Amino acid sequence: MVMHMTQPNSERAQAVWSESADPPSGKNLRVGWILNGTPNAASSRLIGYNMHSYFTAQGISSKILFAPREQLIESLPLTIARIDKLLASNINVLVIVKILRGDTLEYLLAACKRKNIKIIYAFCDEPVPILLDNAEVLIAPSSHYRSILSKAHVAKLNISFDGFDHDRNLVKTHTGLHKANLCLVTSQSADSVPCIKRLPKNIRLNVIGPSPKLQRQYFSHSAVFKKTPYRLKYINWSLKTVARNILKCDIGVIPWDTIGRAQLIKSSNRLVMLMALGMPTIVSPLPSYREIIKQGENGFIAQTPEEWEKYIILLRDNPKLRAAIGKRAREDVLEKFTTHEQGKLFLRIFDDAVRSA
């Protein structure tokens, strides 16, 4: 595989190979996965379930050893006896996705060392020291991690990306109307919508966000956008319906009021999803978004409420521009950010981990 053109950005993928290098085979891989959620949790689905499916489709031994029944967990709920049973599954690579803590986590890591099982730690938010220290390989979705991790951790860090996983035949058909629906897809629940202080005339906003169950579980103190000073439509996120609900809108928006450490390491998966659907998108200036957005060509980066309003009005009043930017956005990500491309990158990373043993 030639990675020079198919990788989104040379900064985004550390594990790359050239035409002259042997392509990864995976023939020596026996992979086990410990996941932090169900397929409805983006981190587990994009990093875990999708990559497991890709590996098995390539004839590679891959097993999901543990995944919770509830949508998302942070703490490893396994007993020592259960860990011993899982690690008897004839694996030589264990991938741990976004687990943060657990009474038996230290035992799991030590047991892997004893059995010479390579530990791969995949994360997309704030990582935890015990896993950073004990994993032989780290996988993260943003090159910004290189500036916040220690030199020892950066030395084993691989920058990957999340492939979009909706039907690639889904694409926005833009109207010629001088009005537009904005679409904000979020896994968070805030008191009000960030950055967009008011809605211009002939603009509506749809927010696709956490279900009532997740609101109660993780965001019990949130007003669920009800303090926003204008009316909006709130839609419960569902893996089955999210893409089609996006396509009912005209412009994607990803606003962040504050860009602190947590936002600086965010992946680009939500942006890639919108772009792959052919949506013109306005975003806040996160590093992973800056790596993809070409200002005014395949999207817009807005840094102030005034810029947010300016770009919303520009796209509202120019239906042909909406269509052109959406088309360019789709072209720029459709082949580069597929689950298949992500899988090939993961395979190379995993292959290298085993070969270095």
Please list, in sequence order, all residues whose beta carbon lies within 8 angstroms of the beta carbon of residue 152, skipping any fewer than 6 positions away. Answer: none
Looking at the fold, whether 246 and 222 belong to one and the same domain comes out as yes
CATH number of the domain at 32, please: 3.40.50.2300
- Which pLDDT does position 355 carry in this prediction? 85
Q: Is 171 inside a domain boundary? A: no
Q: How far is the CA of 224 from the CAs of 175, 191, 212, 215, 257, in angstroms?
A: 30, 5, 10, 8, 16
pLDDT tens, N- to C-terminus, the chain (357 residues): 223 223 344 343 433 333 334 556 678 899 999 999 999 999 999 999 999 999 999 999 999 999 998 888 999 999 999 999 999 999 999 999 999 999 999 999 999 999 999 999 999 999 999 999 999 999 999 999 999 999 999 999 999 999 999 999 999 999 999 999 999 999 999 999 999 999 999 999 999 999 998 898 889 999 999 999 999 999 999 999 999 999 999 999 999 999 999 999 999 999 999 999 999 999 999 999 999 999 999 999 999 999 999 999 999 999 999 999 999 999 999 999 999 999 999 999 999 988 876
Structural domain contains residue 36: yes
Q: Does residue 64 lie within any of the structural domains? A: yes
In-domain check, residue 168: no
Report phi then psi at 276, rounded to 5. Answer: -65, -25
DSSP per-residue codes, 19-75:
TTSPPP--TT-EEEEE-SB-TTSHHIIIIIIHHHHHHHHTT-EEEEEE--SSSB-SB
Residues 76 and 92 in one domain: yes
Is residue 196 domain-shared with residue 323, that is, in the same domain? yes
Same domain, 347 and 289: no
Handedness of CA 304, 306, 309, 310 (dihedral sign): negative
**Beta-carbon count within 10 A of 122 CB:** 30
Task: Pinpoint the alpha helices (H) of 219-318.
Answer: 242-247, 261-264, 269-276, 287-290, 305-317
Considering the domain architecture, whether residues 155 and 34 belong to the same structural domain is answered as yes
pLDDT at 4: 28
Asked if residue 327 is part of any domain, the answer here is yes
- Rg, the chain, Cα only: 21
Instruction: Compute the distance between CA of residue 328 and CA of residue 281 in angstroms, rounded to an integer.
Output: 11
**What was the pLDDT predicted at 17?**
36
pLDDT of residue 23: 55
Q: How many residues does the chain have?
A: 357
Q: How many domains does the chain have?
A: 2
Contact 276, 172 (CB under 8 A): no
**Are residue 202 and residue 292 in the same domain, yes or no?**
yes
Same domain (yes/no): 324, 349: no
| 10 located within any domain | yes
- The reply to whether 101 and 129 lie within a common domain is yes
- Same domain? 133 vs 147: yes
Residue 175, domain member (yes or no): no
b/e burial code for range 214-226 (CB count within 10 A of at least 16 → b): beeeebeebebbe
Same domain, 133 and 279: no
The answer to whether the pTM exceeds 0.85 is yes
Which one-letter DSSP state was computed for residue 8?
Answer: S
Q: What one-letter code names the amino acid at 277?
A: L
169 belongs to a structural domain? no
Angle subtended at Cα 168 by Cα 247 and Cα 296, rounded to the nearest 5 degrees: 60
Residue 273 to residue 321: CA distance in whole angstroms: 20
Q: How much is the pLDDT for 217?
A: 85
Domain of 266: which CATH number?
Answer: 3.40.50.2000
> Can you say how many angstroms the Cα of residue 296 is from the centroid of all Cα atoms in its chain?
24
What is d(CA 15, CA 331) in angstroms, rounded to the nearest whole number?
24
Regarding whether 202 and 81 lie in a shared domain, the answer is no
pLDDT at residue number 357: 62
CA distances from 124 to 141, 148, 293, 334 (A): 6, 13, 20, 22
For residues 157 and 241, membership in a common domain is answered with no
Q: What φ, ψ does residue 220 adopt, rounded to 5°? A: -65, -25
Burial class (CB in 10 A: 0-12, 13-18, 19+), 300: buried
- Which domain range does residue 158 map to? 3-163+338-355
The DSSP 8-state label assigned to residue 163 in this structure reads: P
Q: Record the tokens describing residue 94, joined without a space.
A: 């264990």
